[in-house]
Amino acid sequence: MAQVIANDEVELGARVSGGPAEVIRKGMSEWLFLVPALVFFIGYQVWPIIRVLWLSFTNFQLLSDKPSQWVGVDNYAQALHDPLMWASLWRAALFTMMFLPGTIILPLLLAILVDRVANQRLATVYRVILLIPAVIPSTLVFVLWKWMYNYQSGPINHLLVDTFGLFTLQNAPQWLGGTALTLPAIAIMEVWWGLGYHTIFFIAGLAAIPKDMPDAARIDGANEWQVFWHVTRPQLAPIMMILVVLRFGSAMAVIDEYLIFGGFNRASPTYTWTIFMYDQAFKTGLWRQGYAASIGMIGAIAMMFVMAALLWIFRPKG
Amino acid sequence: MSGRNEQEYLLQEAARRELAQGRIDRRDFLTRSLLTGLGLTGVGAVAKSGITPAFAADRPLTPTFYQWIQDLHPGIPAVNAKFPGINYQIAPVEGFGIERFVAEAKNKESTWDVYVGQTPFVEMSAFIKAGVIEPWDNYIPKEVIDDIIPSIRAECSVDGKLYSWPFFLDVIGTSWHSGITGKAGLPDAAPATWDEFLASSKKIVDSKAAPWGATFDAHGWRSLVPVTHSMSTKAYTPEGLFDFTSEPAIEALKLMKQIIANSNPDILLEGSSDAGVNSTTDEEAFKSQRVGLYFKYFNAPLRMAASWDDPKLLHLGPLPKFTNGEGSTVFWTTGCALFKYGQNKEKAAEYIKALTYDPQIWKDSIVGTPGVHPGQLPPYKSIYAGWDSSKPDWMPPFVGLVRSQLDRAKAIDNNIFGLQQFVIGKPIWETYLKGEEPDPKVAMTKVMEAVQAEIKKG
C-alpha cells in the first residue's frame, strides 16, 4: 500500500512538473477525443430536448401557416387543467406498476434457480432458452401476441373456451382493443419479452456474491429464506436499482405497443400520456405541437421525481 | 420494449427488399437507412445539408404506396414494368400517419413524387393546409377529369380543384354468409329495411345457426355514417362536420344499439393493427364464420370470406334503409396525391393514368386472385360504360349493384376534423351503446360539444 501511494505521488509530481499550461495542453488532447461523442450527444440528445422545451412555451401548430407565438406557461396551465392529462398519466403509471414487479420478482427467482443448477451445460441451456424472446424482433413479438390474444381464434381463448370450458364464446376474455384486460395483457407480453434479459442481470449479480457469505449464514443456522433476505438481496440491491430505474423509465414511455394494440380511443386504458402527446402533435386539428411539447415535459418531470425517489429507496445502504 | 417504431422498421424492410431486387444501389440504401434511423429530426438535418435535394434533382419517378394497396392489388407490378426505372416505394403511413410528408413539406422537399393511399375525408384537408400537395389540374388530361364519376370528382375536389386523383372506390353495403342465413331459414337476399335486418339477425341467433346474428365495424365512418345516410344524407353542418345531433344520426345510433344485442361481444373494441383502425373485431367474427349478417365496405367481407371453406357462400347486397328513408349509403375513394415539392409531375400523371385505367387491376380486384379479393371498383364512367355495353363473362352481380348505389351514396365532407370528429366522438357515443347513458340525444350532444371543444383549440 505504501509503495502504491509512493508511486502515485511520483506520477502526480511528474504530471504537474510542466506547470498549469502543460496540464491544460495535455488535458485538451484527451478532451479532443470526446468531441465526436459530445457533438452527437448534444446534437441528437440535448438539442432536441431544448427545442421541445422552447416549443412548449409557444402555440406552434405544424399544419398552420401562421407564425407561432410565445404563450408563456399557457400550454402547461391548459395541460394541468385537462382531465385527460391526469387520466393518461395515471394509465401509464398503472401499467408501470403492473410491469415493474415482473422485472424483479420472476427474473430473480429464475436467476436463483439457474444459479443452483450444478450441471453447467444444463445451466447454459436454461440461459439460452430464457434469452430466446429477447432476440425476437419487436414486430414479430407484436404479431405473435396479437394472435395469442385474438378473441376469436387465439390459442389462449381456445384453451379457456374450447379445451377447459371455463368460459363461453359470449363471455370469453377480451384481451385487447381497450378493455380492462388490455394493460395487464401488454404487461404480460413485456414481462415475457424481457424475462431472459432481466434474469441475466441477476445471474451476473449472483455470480459476484462471495460464496463464503451465504455459507457462513447457513453455518450460523439461517434457513434459505433468511439467507436470501439478509445476504443475497442486499448484495443484489445495486442491480435491482438499475433495473427498476431503467425499466420505470421505459415502461412510462411506452408508445409503440399502445399504438398497435389500442389506437387513439381516449377512453381506452392504453391512451396514456405518450399517446395523448402523439395525438395532439400529429393527429388532432392543426397538430398542436406546442401543447404536445408541454404534455411531454410534464410527463418527463413527473417521471424524474419518481426516478429520484426510486434511486433513494434502492440506494446502497451501509 | 424496443425504441424502434414500426414505421421505421417497415421503411427499413422496404429499402432492404429494393436492394435485394436490384432496384436501388448500396448508396441509396445507406442514405435511406440514415434517414429512417434518424427519424424526423434526421430528415430536417440531412435536408438542410443538401443531401436529399441533391438526390432529388435527377431521380426517377418515385411513387409511394400505402402498404395495404400493394397487398390487395397484385397487378401493380405489371403497370410498373411499363415505366422502366420507376422507384416504387412503400409509404411510412401506418394508422393514416402522414407526419413524414408534412415534415418534408415544411422543409420544402419531398422524398417521393406521388402518394397512392390518400382518402379525401381522412387526410386531404391536412395535406392542403400544410402545403404538402398541389392539385392535379395542370397535369391530369382533360378527358380523364371529365371521365370521373361526378360524385367522386366532388369528393376529391376543394374549391373546384382536384386534389386527389381517385383510384379505388369503396362503398358500404350488406354482406351475408348464405350458409348461415340458409340454416336459419332466411331468404337469400339482402334485407331491404333495417327492421328486416334486425329480425333476420335475431332469427340467426334464436335458430342457433350461428352464435351471432350481425356485426359491423364500430368506427363511426364505417357504421354510424352509412346508417345515418340510409335515412338521410342531410346530416352535416354548414362547416362540413357530421351533425351528430341530427335526427338521422340519433336514429342511426339507436339502430346500432339494437344490432349490438345480437352481435359479437367485442364489437366495440379497437382493431389490432394500424392504430386500431384495421384488423377489427367484426372482420375476425365474420372470418371465423360465427356471424350471419355484416355491413362494411365490400372489400372486408370479400377478404374475410377468402379463408372460408367455401368462399362462394358469401353474398353481397345494398345497405338496408329505414322505412321512408333516403336509402343512401357512404362511399369514399382511395386516391393519389401529388406532392408539391416532388419531381416528375408530368410523368406522375402518366403513371397514375396507366394505373387507374389498367383493366387487369380492375379484373383482379373484382374477381379476386389467389389469396386476395379486394372488391374495390374504378372511379371512371367509361369503364362502367364499357362493361355495360359488353359485359365480361367474369363480371359478378355486385358490381352493378355498387354502381347503382353510388348514384345515391354520399361522401363524408372534407374537413380538417373529417376523421378526428369520429375518433373523438366514439368513446362518448359508446356510452349510449353500452347502456351507461340512457338517452342517445344526450350522448350525441356531448359528442358535438367535445368535437367543438377540440376545434376551438385549433
| Closest CA of chain A from B228, distance in Å | 22
Chain A residues whose CB is inside 8 A of the B275 CB are: 259-260, 263-264
pTM above 0.90, yes or no: no
Least confident of B46-50, B328-332, B438-442: B46-50
CB distance from A68 to chain B under 8 Å?
A: no
Q: Closest Cα to residue B215, out of B201, B228, B226?
A: B201
Asked if the C-beta of B416 comes within 8 angstroms of chain A's C-beta atoms, the answer is yes
The pLDDT of residue B227 is 98
* pLDDT for the residue B17: 63
CB atoms within 10 A of CB A314: 17
Q: Which of B1, B5, B289, B434 to mutate to test the interface with A (most CBs of A within 10 A)?
A: B1
- Answer yes or no: is pLDDT of A1 > 50: no
How does strand B157-158 pair with strand B161-162?
A: antiparallel
Q: Is B44 on the interface with A (CB under 8 A)?
A: no
Most confident segment among B46-60, B61-75, B245-259: B245-259
Q: Which helix (H) or strand (E) holds B294?
A: strand B291-297
Integer Cα distance of A268 and A286 in angstroms = 23
The alpha carbon of residue A95 and the mean position of all alpha carbons in its chain are separated, in whole angstroms, by 12
At B3 the pLDDT is: 42
Three cell numbers, residue B185: 331459414
**Mode of pairing for the β-strands spanning B157-158 and B133-134:** unpaired
Q: Is the pLDDT of residue B355 over 50?
A: yes
Please report how the helices A47-55 and A289-313 are oriented relative to each other, as an axis angle in degrees rounded to 10.
120
Smallest CA–CA distance, residue B326 to chain A, in Å, is: 31
B37 contacts chain A (CB < 8 A): no
Cα separation, A127 vs A110, in Å, equals 10
Nearest Cα to B94, choosing from A282, A52, A69, A171? A282
pLDDT score, position B273? 83
Would you place residue B34 in the very low, low, confident or very high pLDDT band (cuts 50, 70, 90)? low
Q: Which residue has the higher pLDDT, A17 or A55?
A: A55
For B329-359, b where at least 16 C-beta lie within 10 A, e where not — what string?
Answer: bbbbbbbbbbbbbbbbbebbbbbbbebbbbe
Closest CA to B295 of B311, B316, B312, B309: B316
A63: contact with B, CB 8 A cutoff: yes
Q: pLDDT value at position B255?
A: 98
B7 and A CB contact within 8 Å: no
Query: Does pLDDT of B58 surpass 80?
Result: no
Q: Check: CB of residue B423 under 8 Å from CB of residue A280.
A: no
- What's the whole-number mean pLDDT along residues A164-171? 93
Q: Do A170 and B99 touch (CB under 8 A)?
A: no
Distance separating alpha carbons of residues A154 and A144, to the nearest angstrom: 10
Gap between the terminal Cα atoms of chain A: 25
Question: Whole-angstrom Cα distance, residue B292 to residue B57?
Answer: 55
Query: Do B118 and B334 contact (CB within 8 A), yes or no?
Result: yes
Per-residue pLDDT, B180: 98
Q: Do A259 and B6 touch (CB under 8 A)?
A: yes
Q: Which three cell numbers stand for residue A229?
A: 433476505
* pLDDT, tens digit (0-9, with 9 covering 90-100), for B275-293: 889 889 999 999 999 999 9
Distance CA B126, CA B132 (A): 8
Using CA atoms, how far apart are residues B47 and B280, in angstroms rounded to an integer?
Answer: 38
Show contacts of B11-20: CB within 8 Å, 24+ apart: B11/B36, B11/B90, B11/B92, B12/B36, B12/B37, B14/B89, B14/B90, B18/B89
Q: In the predicted model, what is the mean pLDDT of residues B172-188?
A: 96
Q: Roughly what angle, to the nearest 10 degrees, separates helices A83-115 and A120-135?
A: 160
Residue A58 burial by Cβ neighbours in a 10 Å radius (0-12, 13-18, 19+): buried
* pLDDT class of B46 with cuts at 50, 70, 90: very low
Q: Is B40 on the interface with A (CB under 8 A)?
A: no
Judge: B427–A48 Cβ closer than 8 Å, yes or no: no
Chain A CB within 8 Å of residue B363 CB: no
Measured CA distances, B361 to B76, B119, B214, B302 (Å): 7, 19, 31, 16
Q: Is B56 helix (H, G, I), strand (E, B) or coil?
A: helix
Q: How many CB atoms lie within 10 A of CB A78?
A: 16
Cβ neighbourhood burial of B253 (10 Å; 0-12, 13-18, 19+) = buried
Please choose, from the candidates A180, A272, A274, A262, the residue with its C-alpha nearest in 3D space to the C-alpha of residue B274: A262
> Which of A98, A149, A150, A259 should be substituted to probe chain B, the one whose Cβ sees the most B Cβ atoms within 10 Å?
A259
What is the ipTM, given to two decimal places?
0.83
B-chain residues near A75 (CB < 8 A) = none
**With contacts defined as CB-CB under 8 Å, which chain B residues touch A146?**
272-273, 279
Same fold yes or no, B57-169+333-403 and B171-331+411-456: yes
Instruction: Find chain A residues with C-beta within 8 A of B95's C-beta.
Output: 259, 263
Nearest CB partner across the interface for A150, out of B5, B130, B284: B284
Give the span between the Cα atoms of B415 and B351, in whole angstroms: 29
At the top level of CATH, the class of A78-313 is mainly alpha
CA-based nearest residue in chain A for residue B261: A170
Share of chain B residues as helix, strand and coil, in percent rounded to the nearest 5: 50, 15, 35
CATH no. for B57-169+333-403: 3.40.190.10
- pLDDT value at position A13? 47
Which residue, among B217, B260, B272, would best test binding to A if mutated, counting the most A CBs under 10 Å from its CB? Answer: B272
Chain-chain contact of A265 with B270 (C-beta, under 8 angstroms): yes
B449 vs A4: CA distance, rounded Å:
77
Contact A268 B427 (CB under 8 A): yes
Residue B41 has pLDDT above 50, yes or no: no
Name every chain B residue with its beta carbon within 8 A of the beta carbon of A255: 5
Torsion angle, alpha carbons of B281, B283, B289, B295, to 10: 110
* Mean pLDDT within B110-138: 95
What is the tens place of the pLDDT at every residue in A35-53? 999 999 999 999 999 999 9
Question: Quick one: average pLDDT of B150-159?
Answer: 95
The verdict on B277 touching A (C-beta cutoff 8 Å) is yes
Mean pLDDT of chain B: 89
Q: Where are the domains of chain B?
A: 13-56, 57-169+333-403, 171-331+411-456
pLDDT value at position A30?
81
How close B423 comes to chain A (CA, Å)?
6
Query: What residues does each domain of chain A span?
Result: 2-55, 78-313
C-alpha cell of residue B200:
333476420
φ/ψ region of B119 (left if φ > 0, alpha if ψ in -120 to 50, else beta) reads beta
Q: Tens digits of per-residue pLDDT, B428-456?
A: 999 999 999 999 999 999 999 999 999 99
| Residue of B264, B276, B424 with shortest CB distance to A263 | B276
Whether residues A291 and B457 touch (CB distance < 8 A) is answered with yes
**Contact flag B276-A174 (C-beta cutoff 8 Å):** no
Find residue B291's DSSP bridge partners. B212
Using pLDDT thresholds of 50, 70 and 90, give the confidence band for residue A231: confident
Please state, in angstroms and rounded to a whole number, the distance separating the CA atoms of residues B443 and B449: 10
In angstroms, the CA B152 to CA B311 distance is 30
Res. A218 pLDDT band, cuts 50 70 90: confident
Determine the pLDDT at residue A17: 55
- Determine the Cα–Cα distance for residues B426 and B406; give it in Å rounded to an integer: 26
Do B139 and B346 form a contact (C-beta atoms < 8 A)? yes
Q: Which residues of chain A are within 8 Å of residue B308 when distances are taken between CB atoms?
A: none
Contact between B331 and B406 under an 8 Å Cβ cutoff? The reply is yes
3-state helix, strand, coil in chain A (%, to 5): 75, 0, 25
Higher pLDDT, B31 or B265: B265
Considering only the beta carbons, identify the residue of B4, B264, B275 that sits closest to A264.
B275
Burial class (CB in 10 A: 0-12, 13-18, 19+), B42: middle
Does CATH number 3.40.50.2300 belong to domain B171-331+411-456?
no
Q: Which of A264, A280, A286, A288 to mutate to test the interface with B (most CBs of B within 10 A)?
A: A264
User: So what's the pLDDT on residue B401?
Assistant: 80
Predicted confidence (pLDDT) at residue A315 exceeds the cutoff of 60 = yes
Cell of A244: 427498476
Chain A partners within 8 Å of B276 (Cβ): 177-178, 261-265
pLDDT for position A82: 95
> Are B194 and B255 in contact, with CB atoms under 8 Å apart?
yes
Predicted confidence band of residue B14 (pLDDT cuts 50, 70, 90): low
Torsion of CA A209, A210, A215, A218, to 10 degrees: -40
**What is the pLDDT at residue B95?**
66
Q: CB B174: neighbour CB atoms within 10 A?
A: 24
The residues in A 236-255 lying below 8 A from B, measured between CB atoms, are: 250-251, 254-255
B291: part of which helix (H) or strand (E)? strand B291-297
Min Cα separation B14/chain A (Å)? 14
Question: Beta-carbon neighbour count of residue B444 at 10 Å?
Answer: 24
- Residues in A closer than 8 angstroms to B99, CB to CB, are 282, 287
Rounded mean pLDDT, B321-346: 95
Confidence of residue A214 (pLDDT cuts 50, 70, 90): confident
What is the residue-averaged pLDDT of chain A?
A: 89
Report yes or no: A227 at the B interface, CB cutoff 8 Å.
no
User: Which of A9-18, A222-231, B326-335 is modeled with the greatest confidence?
Assistant: B326-335
> For B206-230, what is each residue's pLDDT tens digit?
999 999 999 999 999 999 999 999 9
Strands B157-158 and B212-216 come out as unpaired
Neighbouring C-alpha atoms within 13 Å toward the C-beta of B395: 18
Residue A153 touches partner B, C-beta closer than 8 Å: yes
In this structure, are residues B331 and B299 in contact, taking their beta carbons and an 8 Å threshold? no
pLDDT of residue B20: 63
Instruction: Give the angle B216-B274-A248 at the CA atoms, nearest 5°.
Output: 120
What is chain A's alpha carbon radius of gyration, rounded to the nearest angstrom?
Answer: 26
**Burial B115-152, CB ≥16 within 10 A → b, else e:** bbbbbbbbbbbbbbbbebbbbbeebbeeebeebbbebb
Measured between beta carbons, the chain B residues lying within 8 angstroms of A190 are 1
Interatomic CA distance for residues B274 and B453, integer angstroms: 26
